[in-house]
Amino acid sequence: MVDRFADDVSPGLVACDLFDKDGFSIYGINSNEEMCSIFSHITNMIRKSLENTAFPRMEYYTIFAEDDKMVLIVDLGEKYMFGALIDSDKAKPGLVFSVALPKLVEDLKKLLP
Q: Tens digit of pLDDT for each residue in 72-89?
A: 999 998 899 999 999 999
Query: How much of the chain, in percent, has pLDDT values that exceed 90?
Result: 74
Phi and psi, residue 38, nearest 5°: -65, -50
Domain that holds residue 82: 2-111
CATH number at residue 86: 3.30.450.30
Neighbours of 113 (CB within 10 A): 6
Residue 113: pLDDT over 80: no
Q: How many residues belong to the chain?
A: 113
pLDDT digits (tens, 9 = 90+) for 39-67: 999 999 998 888 888 888 889 999 999 99
pTM here is 0.91
Cis peptide before 93 (omega within 30 of 0): no
Number of domains comprising the chain: 1
